[in-house]
C-alpha cells in the first residue's frame, strides 16, 4: 500500500487534533488509497478555521483563504488544509464565491461531488464514509453525493469531472447520475473555459478516454463549450489517451477554419504546439525523401513530431493522412536529430552581413531567401557549415 505521503503528513493531523480540532485526509488521495492506486497529492480537511490553522503552524501561506484553504509548509513540503465548509447560493450553475465554514465533518463531505471523493480518513487510517463511497469504489461506480440533478444544477462542472474520472479510473457512471447529465449538460455553457479545459485535459489523458470521449459526444457536451461548438465534433474520434494540444490540432486539421483559438485561453506555449501540430499533420504525409525529413526535424520541435508518429492510429481514425512509416518513424527521426549539423539559424557560419560584403550587394529581401537556401543546404549536408565553403557554394549554386 502506498502510504508514504500519508505517513509524511500524519504529524500535521496530529498537531491539529492535539489542539482539540478535527483533521482528516480527504478527496482523491483517500479514494486512490482505497483503490490501491498511486497517491499524487494529499488534501486535508479540518474543523479549525483558517485563522486557527494560521495560529497553530509557524509557516503558512494564505493561498485560498477566503475559500477556507491555507497552505502549511512543514519540512519543505506544502500541504493544502481546507476548513470544513458547506456551500450555498449557487449562482448560474457555478460554485459560489461565498462559503460557510462549519464544524461538522458530515456537512463537509456532503457538499463533495461524488461518493468516492467524499470519504475522510483520520491519522489512524480510520475511514469516515457516510455515503457508501467504498461500496461504489468496489462496484467501480461514479455516483453523485445526493440527488444528481440538484448537484449538477449547483455546479455544472461536476458533469465534466464525472467523465474525467470515468476516463482516469475506468469506472461506470451510475444510471441516475448519467441520466441527470443527459438532461443538464447544456448548463456547462455557464462555466469558465479555464475550469473546463483543466478537466478536459485530464479526460483526454485518461486510460479509458475512448469511452468517456464517446460519452462527451453522446451527451453533446462540445455544443456548449467555446470554440468546439463551431466544429462537427461527432466526426472526431479519440481512441487512445492524447494531449489536449494534439486533440485540438486534429480537430483543426480535419475541419480547417479560422476560428480563434484565443477563446480557449491557453498559454502561448500551448498555442504554439497546436499550430506546429497542425502544420506537421499536413506536412508529414507528403514526405518522400530523407532530405525532406531532415528539414522538418530541423524546423519543428522533435518532441511534437514523435508524438504525431506515436498517434498514427488516431490520425487515421479521424480520416487524416499519415506519414509513410518506412521514411518517417521514431528511429529515422531520432537518428536525423542526432546528426543535425546545426539546430538554429544563429549557428550558421554566415549571416546577412557576410553575404552583403561577399556579393557587394545592398540589403534587401534577397538576404532572407539566400539564407534559407544556405540553411537547407547545410541541413541536407550539401555544404559544410564553414564560411569559406558556404561562400563557394553560394557562388556556384545561388542565382541572385
User: Could you tell me which residues are annotated as the binding site for Mg(2+)?
Assistant: 41, 43
Q: CB of 263: closest distance to ligand ATP in angstroms?
A: 22
Q: CB of 111: closest distance to ligand ATP in angstroms?
A: 6
Identity of the residue, 151 or 202, whose beta carbon is nearer to Mg ion in the bound complex: 202
Q: CB of 43: closest distance to Mg ion in angstroms?
A: 6
Question: Facing residues of 78 across strands?
Answer: 73
Q: CB of 165: closest distance to Mg ion in angstroms?
A: 11
Q: How far is CA 220 from the centre of its chain?
A: 21
Q: CB of 199: closest distance to Mg ion in angstroms?
A: 12
Choose, by CB under 6 A, the member of 12, 56, 81, 157 that binds ligand ATP: 157
CA distances for 251 relative to 193, 230, 247, angstroms: 18, 11, 6
Stretch of 21-29, 129-137, 177-185, 392-400 lying at the interface with Mg ion (CB under 5 A): 21-29
The helix/strand count (H/E) of the chain reads as: 19, 11
Q: Where are the alpha helices (DSSP H) in the chain?
A: 4-18, 28-35, 50-56, 105-110, 133-139, 148-154, 157-169, 175-184, 193-205, 209-218, 244-254, 268-283, 290-299, 302-310, 312-317, 330-339, 352-359, 366-379, 387-397
DSSP H or E segment with residue 120: strand 120-121
By CB under 6 A, residue 28 contacts ligand ATP: yes
Q: CB of 48: closest distance to ligand ATP in angstroms?
A: 18
Identity of the residue, 95 or 294, whose beta carbon is nearer to ligand ATP in the bound complex: 95
Which residues line the annotated binding site for CTP? 28, 31, 112, 155, 158, 161, 164
Q: CB of 30: closest distance to Mg ion in angstroms?
A: 10
Write down how long the chain is: 400
Q: CB of 169: closest distance to ligand ATP in angstroms?
A: 9
Residues 6 or more apart whose CB falls under 8 angstroms from that of 360 comprise none
Position closest to ligand ATP via CB:
28
Stretch of 54-62, 112-120, 183-191, 350-358 lying at the interface with ligand ATP (CB under 6 A): 112-120
By CB under 5 A, residue 50 contacts Mg ion: no
d(CA 153, CA 92): 9
CA distances for 390 relative to 61, 229, 349, 400, angstroms: 58, 52, 8, 15
CB 17 within 8 Å of CB 123: yes
By CB under 5 A, residue 68 contacts Mg ion: no
Grid coordinates of 80:
493544502
Per-residue interface string for the shown chain with ligand ATP, residues 64-103, x marking contact by CB under 6 A: -------------------------------x--------
Choose, by CB under 6 A, the member of 6, 16, 23, 43 that binds ligand ATP: 43
Stretch of 20-28, 90-98, 137-145, 331-339 lying at the interface with Mg ion (CB under 5 A): 20-28
By CB under 6 A, residue 133 contacts ligand ATP: no
Which residues line the annotated binding site for ATP? 28, 31, 112, 155, 158, 161, 164
- 279: helix, strand or coil: helix
**Dihedral (C-alpha) 325, 328, 331, 333: value to the nearest 10 degrees?**
-170
Identity of the residue, 165 or 228, whose beta carbon is nearer to ligand ATP in the bound complex: 165
- Residue 109's Cβ-count burial label (10 Å; 0-12, 13-18, 19+) is buried
Identity of the residue, 43 or 129, whose beta carbon is nearer to ligand ATP in the bound complex: 43
Angle of CA points 151, 156, 160, to nearest 5°? 110
Annotate 309-333 with DSSP letters as a single string: HHTHHHHHHTT-----TTTSSHHHH
Which residues line the annotated binding site? 28, 31, 41, 43, 112, 155, 158, 161, 164
Cell 441520466 belongs to which residue? 179
Choose, by CB under 6 A, the member of 83, 117, 167, 177 that binds ligand ATP: 117
Choose, by CB under 6 A, the member of 27, 50, 68, 206 that binds ligand ATP: 27
Identity of the residue, 95 or 294, whose beta carbon is nearer to Mg ion in the bound complex: 95
Helix/strand/coil percentages in the chain, nearest 5: 55, 10, 35
By CB under 5 A, residue 28 contacts Mg ion: yes
- Binding footprint of ligand ATP on the chain (CB under 6 A): 27-28, 43, 95, 112-113, 117-118, 155, 157-158
- Binding footprint of Mg ion on the chain (CB under 5 A): 28
Amino acid at each position: 500500500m502506498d502510504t508514504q505521503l500519508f505517513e509524511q503528513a500524519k504529524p500535521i493531523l496530529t498537531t491539529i487534533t492535539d489542539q482539540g480540532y478535527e483533521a482528516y485526509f480527504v478527496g482523491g488521495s483517500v479514494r486512490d488509497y482505497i483503490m490501491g492506486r498511486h497517491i499524487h497529492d494529499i488534501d486535508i480537511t479540518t474543523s479549525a478555521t483558517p485563522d486557527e490553522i494560521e495560529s497553530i503552524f509557524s509557516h503558512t501561506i494564505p493561498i485560498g483563504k477566503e475559500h477556507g484553504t491555507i497552505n502549511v509548509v512543514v519540512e519543505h513540503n506544502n500541504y493544502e488544509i481546507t476548513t470544513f465548509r458547506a456551500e450555498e447560493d449557487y449562482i448560474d450553475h457555478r460554485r459560489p464565491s461565498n462559503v460557510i465554514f462549519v464544524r461538522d465533518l458530515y456537512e463537509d463531505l456532503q457538499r463533495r461531488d461524488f461518493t468516492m471523493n467524499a470519504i475522510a480518513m483520520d491519522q489512524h487510517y480510520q475511514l469516515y464514509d457516510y455515503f457508501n463511497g467504498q461500496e461504489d469504489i468496489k462496484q467501480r461506480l461514479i455516483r453523485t453525493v445526493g440527488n444528481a440533478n440538484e448537484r449538477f444544477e449547483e455546479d455544472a462542472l461536476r458533469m465534466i469531472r464525472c467523465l474525467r474520472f470515468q476516463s482516469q479510473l475506468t469506472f461506470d457512471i451510475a444510471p441516475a447520475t448519467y441520466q441527470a447529465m443527459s438532461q443538464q449538460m447544456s448548463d456547462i455553457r455557464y462555466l469558465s473555459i479555464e475550469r473546463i479545459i483543466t478537466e478536459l485535459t485530464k479526460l483526454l489523458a485518461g486510460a479509458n478516454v475512448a469511452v468517456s470521449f464517446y460519452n462527451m459526444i453522446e451527451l453533446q457536451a462540445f455544443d456548449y463549450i467555446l470554440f468546439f461548438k463551431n466544429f462537427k465534433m461527432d466526426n472526431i474520434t479519440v481512441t487512445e489517451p492524447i494531449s489536449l494540444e494534439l486533440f485540438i490540432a486534429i480537430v483543426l486539421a480535419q475541419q480547417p477554419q479560422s476560428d480563434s483559438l484565443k477563446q480557449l485561453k491557453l498559454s502561448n506555449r500551448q498555442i504554439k504546439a497546436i499550430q506546429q501540430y497542425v502544420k506537421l499533420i499536413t506536412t508529414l504525409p507528403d514526405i518522400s525523401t530523407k532530405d525532406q525529413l531532415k528539414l522538418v526535424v530541423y524546423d519543428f520541435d522533435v518532441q511534437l513530431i514523435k508524438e504525431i508518429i506515436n498517434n498514427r492510429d488516431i490520425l487515421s481514425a479521424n480520416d487524416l493522412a499519415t506519414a509513410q512509416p518506412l521514411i518517417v518513424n521514431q528511429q529515422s527521426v531520432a537518428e536525423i536529430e542526432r546528426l543535425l549539423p546545426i539546430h538554429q539559424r544563429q549557428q550558421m557560419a554566415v549571416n546577412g552581413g557576410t553575404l552583403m560584403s561577399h556579393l557587394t550587394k545592398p540589403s534587401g529581401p534577397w538576404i532572407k531567401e539566400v539564407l534559407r537556401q544556405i540553411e537547407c543546404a547545410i541541413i541536407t549536408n550539401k555544404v559544410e557549415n564553414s564560411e569559406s565553403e558556404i561562400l563557394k557554394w553560394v557562388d556556384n549554386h545561388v542565382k541572385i
